[in-house]
């Protein structure tokens, strides 16, 4: 019997982070294909099951209910830790190690949030095993070997990585790379295994002076069904405004590639790519984006891609459904005219 363990992280309001649900979905798919595999979850909480931090947001009853509702898992370990007031890599990793020592999973999957990306290598070091960060795909064979795939060596190259003998095989995956499981009927509900741990006698923790909550889930801002992505062709705030207006008019989200964020034109939350967000819109319109491996791995789940670029050899043009060789500003100007005409003739385009 092969076992996959998933690290379940919660948001400040007690909900399981979407990346956790995505990992459950993928793990269930892997389990079905590989056969004879069960999927488990593990979640770590501060005293009285508050996610972390001094201010309680959910009661322990709600937390346990949430965990008990995670279809597809065979069981969920819930660790209530006395003395753990806020997230810290080493104490959390030591708790997870307890779970791993008991369960002995073949695979340990972690969502690629800042906390997850801290916990995974820490757990790996404690267990002298390997962890592969930011996988874009994984696969499990009948013997329980995990194939870990990620872009490597600066981009342009995809590497396939295995952990031949050390266990568990650990991989982190960013939000949006996998899809949640759709079907819930017929799948079992997990049993919840409660463990109370005393962390106070562990290594002394940092004191967190203040914690500024920046949003429910800094992973994504609201992504609409249509996303307009702008790239290196946008050099200044002035260049930006025509696309911002366009997005407002057609009801699209404005996102961008890494270089636009580096230029300080849009915040990091708008970045598409492996170190930004993985998006899955119905339609992605890319203007002046060349399409680095990093960026392209963020749009794998886009249903339809129209790419506008003057460079016909730009990597994004190879994979776009409609690669259009054109000047992004000329097209944007035309779009503005069309949409203005629509506004005038028929009232606003419906969103």
Partner 1 sequence: MEIIAFDKDKYAGYLRDESGLTGRADFIAFPRDGAELSEALAFAAKNAVGATVQGARTGLFGAAVPRGGLVISTEKLTRVYGACQGADGGYTLRVQSGVTLKEINDYLRGERRLFGGERYAFAPNPTEANATVGGMLVRDAIGLNALRSGRFSEHVSSLTVVKGDGSTIGYATAKELLSDKRAGADRGEIFAVLDAELRLTKKDSVFWGVFYFFDGKKTAEEFIGGLLSRRAARGFLRDALAALVWFDGEVLRRVSERRLADSSLQGLPEFPADARAAVYAELSGDDGAALESELCVHAELFEKIGGADTWAETGEDEIQKFRAVCHAAVEVAGRPKENDGDGSAYGYADKDGNIVFPS
Partner 2 sequence: MKIIVCIKQVPPSGGIVVDETDRVQIRSGGVLNPCDARALAVAVMIKKRLGGKITALSMGALSAESTLRQTLAIGADEGVLLSDKAFRGADVCVTAYTLAQAVTKLGGADLILCGQQTTDGDTAQTPFSLAARLNIPAVGFVKAIEFTGETPIFIQELSGASAAVEARFPMVAAIGLSAAAPLAASLKERLDAAKKPLKIWGLSDMPDSDGSNYGLIASPTRVIKISRISTEQKNPPITEPPADTAERILKAVRAVVGGR
Interacting residues with partner 2 between 233 and 252 (CB under 8 A): 250-252
Kindly write out the interface string for residues 209-248 of this chain, putting x where it contacts partner 1 by CB under 8 A and - elsewhere.
--------------------------xx------------
List binders of partner 2 among 18-77 (CB under 8 A). none
Q: For strand 283-287 and strand 226-230, is the pairing parallel, antiparallel, or unpaired?
A: parallel
User: Using the rule CB under 8 A, is 325 a contact of partner 1?
Assistant: yes
Residue 88 touches which member of partner 1, partner 2, none, C-beta under 5-8 Å by kind: partner 2
| Residue 191 near partner 2 by CB under 8 A | no
- C-alpha span between 166 and 307 (Å, rounded): 43
Shortest Å, Cβ 41 to partner 2 = 17
Question: What pairing do the DSSP bridges indicate for beta strands 253-256 and 226-230?
Answer: parallel
Cα separation values, 307 from 47, 151, 283, 291, 321, Å: 50, 22, 11, 10, 8
Q: How far apart are CA 308 and CA 312, in angstroms?
A: 9
Q: Does 310 bind partner 1 (CB under 8 A)?
A: yes
Look at residue 264 and give the partner it binds from partner 2, partner 1, none, a contact being a CB closer than 5 to 8 Å depending on partner kind: partner 1
Which of partner 1, partner 2, none does 263 bind, CB closer than 5 to 8 A by kind? partner 1
Interface with partner 1, residue 333, by CB under 8 A: no
Size of the chain, expressed as the number of residues it contains: 351
Give me the DSSP letters along 292-313.
-HHHHTTSTT-SEEEEEES-TT
In angstroms, rounded to a whole number, what is the distance separating the alpha carbons of residues 52 and 206? 14
**Spatial separation of the C-alpha atoms in residues 23 and 8, rounded to whole Å:** 9
**What is the closest distance, in whole angstroms, from the C-beta atom of residue 155 to partner 2 in the complex?**
8
Q: Rounded to an integer, what distance in angstroms lies between the CA atom of residue 120 and that of residue 169?
A: 10
Q: Out of 29, 167, 224, 263, point to the residue binding partner 1 (CB under 8 A).
A: 263
Task: Tell which one of 267, 322, 340, 343 touches partner 2 (CB under 8 A).
Answer: 322
Contact set with partner 1 (CB under 8 A): 235-236, 259, 262-265, 310, 325-327, 330
């Amino acid at each position: 019997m092969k076992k996959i363990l998933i690290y379940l992280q919660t948001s400040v309001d007690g909900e399981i982070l979407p990346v956790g649900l995505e990992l459950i979905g993928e793990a269930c798919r892997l389990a079905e294909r590989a056969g004879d595999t069960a999927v488990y979850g593990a979640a770590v909480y501060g005293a009285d099951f508050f996610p972390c931090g001094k201010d309680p947001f959910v009661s322990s009853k709600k937390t346990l209910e949430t965990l008990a509702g995670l279809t597809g898992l065979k069981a969920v370990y819930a660790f209530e830790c006395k003395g753990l007031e806020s997230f810290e890599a080493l104490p959390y990793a030591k708790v997870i190690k307890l779970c791993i020592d008991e369960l002995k999973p073949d695979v340990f999957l972690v969502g690629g949030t800042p906390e997850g990306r801290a916990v995974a290598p820490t757990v790996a070091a404690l267990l002298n095993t390997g962890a592969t960060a930011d996988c874009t795909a994984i696969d499990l064979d009948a013997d329980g070997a995990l194939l870990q795939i990620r872009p490597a060596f600066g981009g342009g190259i995809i590497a396939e990585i295995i952990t031949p003998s050390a266990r568990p095989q650990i991989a982190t995956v960013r939000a949006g790379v996998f899809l949640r499981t759709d079907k819930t009927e017929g799948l079992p509900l997990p049993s919840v295994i409660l463990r109370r741990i005393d962390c106070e006698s562990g290594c002394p923790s940092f004191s967190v002076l203040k914690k500024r909550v920046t949003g429910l889930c800094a992973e994504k801002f609201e992504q609409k069904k249509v996303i307009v992505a702008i790239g290196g062709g946008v050099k200044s705030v002035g260049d930006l405004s025509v696309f911002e207006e366009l997005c407002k008019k057609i009801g699209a989200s404005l996102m961008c590639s890494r270089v636009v964020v580096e230029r300080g034109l849009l915040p990091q939350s708008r970045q598409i790519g492996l170190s930004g967000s993985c998006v899955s819109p119905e339609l992605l319109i890319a203007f002046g984006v060349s399409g680095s491996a990093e960026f392209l791995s963020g749009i794998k789940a886009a249903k339809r891609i129209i790419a506008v670029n003057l460079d016909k050899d730009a990597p994004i043009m190879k994979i776009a459904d409609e690669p259009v060789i054109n000047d992004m500003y000329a097209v944007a100007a035309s779009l503005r005219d069309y949409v203005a005409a629509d506004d005038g003739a028929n009232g606003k385009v419906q969103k």
